[in-house]
C-alpha cells in the first residue's frame, strides 16, 4: 500500500477492480469488513456506472474514455482515509462519506 500509482493522461478507464485499486496503491486484499472498505466499494460501483455511461455516450470501450469534470475524482480510490485509519487506529465509524455519495 506504500507505492501510489499515479494515472497518466493516456491511461483510459478500466473494468478491472484490481487495476482500479492499484491506482492508489491498494490491493483487493486490503479491503475488509469495515466502513472505509464499504465506502471504497461504493466508490467502485459509482465509478463503474459512470464509465458505462461514458462508454454508451461515446461508443468507445472503457480503455478509450477518460472521466472528466466532477467524475474525475472517481478515477482513483479514496485512499488517504484508509491510510489514516490503518496507521492511527482511528475509529472508522466516525468517517463522513465523500460528498459524491451524499
Reported as a single tens digit per residue, the pLDDT across 19-70 is 999 988 888 888 888 888 888 999 999 999 999 999 999 999 999 999 988 8
pTM strictly above 0.85: no
Cβ–Cβ < 8 Å for 13, 65: yes
Cβ–Cβ < 8 Å for 46, 74: yes
Cell 491506482, residue located: 23
Domain definitions of the chain by residue range: 17-101
Q: Return the C-alpha torsion angle 86, 87, 91, 96, nearest 10.
A: -80
Give me the pLDDT at residue 92, please.
Answer: 43
82 burial level (CB within 10 Å; 0-12, 13-18, 19+): buried
Cβ–Cβ < 8 Å for 24, 5: yes
Taking CB atoms within 8 Å and a gap of at least 24, the contacts of 2-7 are 4/79, 7/75, 7/76
Amino acid at each position: 500500500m506504500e507505492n501510489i500509482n499515479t494515472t497518466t493522461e493516456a491511461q483510459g478507464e478500466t473494468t478491472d477492480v484490481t487495476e482500479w485499486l492499484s491506482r492508489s496503491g491498494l490491493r483487493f486484499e486490503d479491503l475488509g469488513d469495515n466502513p472505509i472498505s464499504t465506502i471504497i466499494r461504493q466508490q467502485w460501483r459509482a465509478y463503474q456506472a459512470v464509465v458505462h455511461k461514458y462508454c454508451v455516450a461515446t461508443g468507445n470501450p472503457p480503455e478509450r474514455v477518460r472521466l472528466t469534470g466532477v467524475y474525475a475524482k472517481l478515477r482513483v480510490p479514496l485512499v488517504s482515509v484508509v491510510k489514516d485509519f490503518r496507521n492511527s487506529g482511528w475509529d472508522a465509524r466516525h468517517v463522513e462519506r465523500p460528498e459524491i455519495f451524499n
